[in-house]
Amino acid sequence: DTEVTQTPKHLVMGMTNKKSLKCEQHMGHRAMYWYKQKAKKPPELMFVYSYEKLSINESVPSRFSPECPNSSLLNLHLHALQPEDSALYLCASRDSGDGYTFGSGTRLTVV
Amino acid sequence: GEDVEQSLFLSVREGDSSVINCTYTDSSSTYLYWYKQEPGAGLQLLTYIFSNMDMKQDQRLTVLLNKKDKHLSLRIADTQTGDSAIYFCAERDTDKLIFGTGTRLQVFP
């Protein structure tokens, strides 16, 4: 298994909803990442987990809450989002080498 | 912060070579990457180069790195319609990938 799997692929949520994005990899990678990509823009880093511990938070608003329950799984909990949070959310992982593997993303629409 | 710049658009004829350029500002970057993104999809890693190298070739792809000028390029030989996509360069800063602005490559018959 050489993939990063993200679910769901698409998500529509209201501003008062709570939802979660899920990311899974079984490559034994010990670093996992959340990126946000707005339309026609490059991805921007949100969070980095290294060995299941949060190592980087790029000043992301608290309505986004990451969680790493184990070395294969990364979640992003969403609460009270705004329409401007609509974007493609990408998960990535990296092994002790240097290649970053990205998932296909969750396209989030906040209504 | 770091800025990674790319030209916005490139159009080539099928069978020709494509050259996508990237300039970066962080001279301490250890690795530089090229990713491909097709419409509605995630990022596909194409290749990457260590900063002490000046060239890397992988089948149809050739990466050139000019560290003095902080310039990176990706050459795609024999470009095909399936190569149409957005191409991002990225530099690695500690454990962060900083992406360029992206170049949309359009291949026409």
Q: Does B39 touch chain A (CB under 8 A)?
A: no
Q: Does A66 touch chain B (CB under 8 A)?
A: no
User: Which three-class secondary structure state does DSSP give residue A83?
Assistant: helix
* Chain B residues whose beta carbon lies within 8 Å of the beta carbon of residue A90: 42-43
Which tops the pLDDT comparison, B31 or B29? Answer: B31
pLDDT tens digits for B15-25?
Answer: 999 999 999 88
Q: How far apart are CA B101 and CA B89, in angstroms?
A: 8
Check CB contact under 8 Å for B96 and A99.
no
Of A41, A43, A99, the CB nearest to B45: A99
- Percent share of chain A, pLDDT over 70: 99
Check CB contact under 8 Å for A55 and B100.
no
Q: Does B77 touch chain A (CB under 8 A)?
A: no
Mean pLDDT of B71-87: 97
What is the pLDDT, as a whole number, of residue B3?
80
Q: How far apart are CA B94 and CA B26, in angstroms?
A: 11
- Pick from B78, B75, B98, B77: nearest CA to B88: B98
* Chain A residues whose beta carbon lies within 8 Å of the beta carbon of residue B20: none
How many C-beta neighbours within 10 Å does residue A45 have?
21
Q: Does A105 touch chain B (CB under 8 A)?
A: yes
Residues 6+ away with beta carbon under 8 Å from A97: none
Burial class of residue B23, CB neighbours in 10 A (0-12, 13-18, 19+): middle
Of B42, B50, B98, the CB nearest to A102: B42
Each residue's pLDDT expressed in tens, for chain A with a length of 111 residues: 679 999 999 999 999 999 999 999 999 999 999 999 999 899 999 999 999 999 999 999 999 999 999 999 999 999 999 999 999 999 999 987 778 999 999 999 999
Check CB contact under 8 Å for A100 and B99.
no
What is the pLDDT, as a whole number, of residue B95?
84
Check CB contact under 8 Å for A42 and B40.
no
Q: Closest chain A residue to B6 measured between Cα atoms? A: A42
- B17 in Cβ contact with B76 (< 8 Å): yes
* Chain B residues whose beta carbon lies within 8 Å of the beta carbon of residue A42: 88, 99-102
